[in-house]
Amino acid sequence: MASHNIYDDPDFLAGYSSLKRQVHGLDGAPEWPVLRTLLPDMAGRRVVDLGCGFGWFSRWATEHDAASVLGIDISTRMLERARAETTATSVEYRCLDLDVLDLDPRSADVVFSSLALHYVRDLDRLMSTVSAALVLGGSLVFSVEHPILSAPTSQEFESSAQGDRIWPLNNYLVEGERVRNWFVDGVVKQHRAVATYVNTVLDTGLIVDRIVEWGPSADDIEARPELADGLHRPWFLMLRATKPAT
């Protein structure tokens, strides 16, 4: 079954394009300074960017001397803009569905994905493809919406019976589809527990090096007070894994 592609919906795309992280790129994403620390040096590496969107990371990788970058996205509209904004010939964009993606074995040094894997229905298949595509010693680095964020029925903070600001968590262990209203109605995401992300990666033979449950730093909150709720429930889950050398 194909991944849900809301990104070619003009109304969705208009709203999405207005996000700070789409106006300002990586520097508009509050989690980027941390996500960046998980990445290996790009110089001379063959990089794959799963769910590349407008190509912000693909361009960053090539600006940091990646040997080649393959940006993959399901949205033709997003790739049109990505291509228009990319001059480096070391970047190639392909319109492909991550749920049926094939990659050549041992063809990539680094596989990266920002906020795309929570749309993928068959994560087992994709992670097996990624693991096989990595060279020995190669790295996988990804971020997804944190499962505490994706789980509950309600997506709004509220006040508890005691008057505390709370995130109304439920159904954390009930994995599967979540239909959200985000710029438009009916955006379909896949909720998985933290353990499922970790174990799915481990099951492909990769070694998990680090996970991050991203929340705002004191500096982040000072610069953008609306981020403070991120201390109550992490916004993003990040994971770095390595293909063992033997």
Q: Which is nearer to a copy of itself, 172 or 183 (CB)?
A: 172
**Cβ neighbours of residue 120 closer than 8 Å, sequence gap 6 or more:** 3, 98, 99, 126, 190
- When the beta carbons of 90 and 217 are compared against a copy of itself, the nearer one is 217
Residue 18 or 171: which CB sits closer to a copy of itself? 171
Please report how close the Cβ of residue 211 comes to a copy of itself at its closest, in angstroms.
5
Give the count of beta carbons closer than 10 Å to the beta carbon of residue 39.
18
Rounded to a whole number of angstroms, the minimum distance from the CB of residue 221 to a copy of itself is 11
Q: How far is it, in rounded angstroms, from Cα 226 to Cα 203? A: 38
Give, in order, the Cα–Cα distances in Å from 88 to each of 65, 176, 191, 244.
11, 39, 36, 31
Q: Whose Cβ is closer to a copy of itself: residue 76's or residue 160's?
A: 160
Q: How far is the CB of 171 from a copy of itself (least distance, A)?
A: 6
Q: Is 196 helix (H, G, I), strand (E, B) or coil?
A: helix
Query: To the nearest whole angstrom, how small is the minimum distance from the Cβ of residue 54 to a copy of itself?
Result: 29
> Distance between CA atoms of 56 and 46, rounded to whole angstroms?
17
Half-sphere exposure of 46 (CA within 13 A, CB side): 12
Closest separation in Å from C-beta 157 to a copy of itself: 9
What is the C-alpha separation between 81 and 85, in angstroms, rounded? 6
Which residues here bind a copy of itself, judged by CB under 8 A?
A: 148, 152-154, 156, 158, 160-162, 164-174, 193-195, 198-199, 202, 207-213, 215, 230-234
Q: What is the rounded distance in angstroms from the CA atom of residue 138 to the CA atom of residue 149? A: 30
Question: Would you say 68 or 200 has its CB closer to a copy of itself?
Answer: 200
Residue 67 or 208: the one with the smaller Cβ distance to a copy of itself is: 208
Grouping H, G, I as helix, E, B as strand and the rest as coil, residue 242 is strand
Nearest approach, Cβ of residue 13 and a copy of itself (Å): 29
How crowded is residue 245: how many other Cβ atoms within 10 Å of its Cβ? 8
Task: Report the nearest approach of a copy of itself to the CB of residue 237 (Å).
Answer: 8
Cβ closest to a copy of itself, residue 24 vs residue 165: 165
In which element (H, E) is residue 239 found? strand 236-242
DSSP result, 184-203: EEEEEEEE--HHHHHHHHHT
116 — alpha (psi -120 to 50), left (phi > 0) or beta? alpha
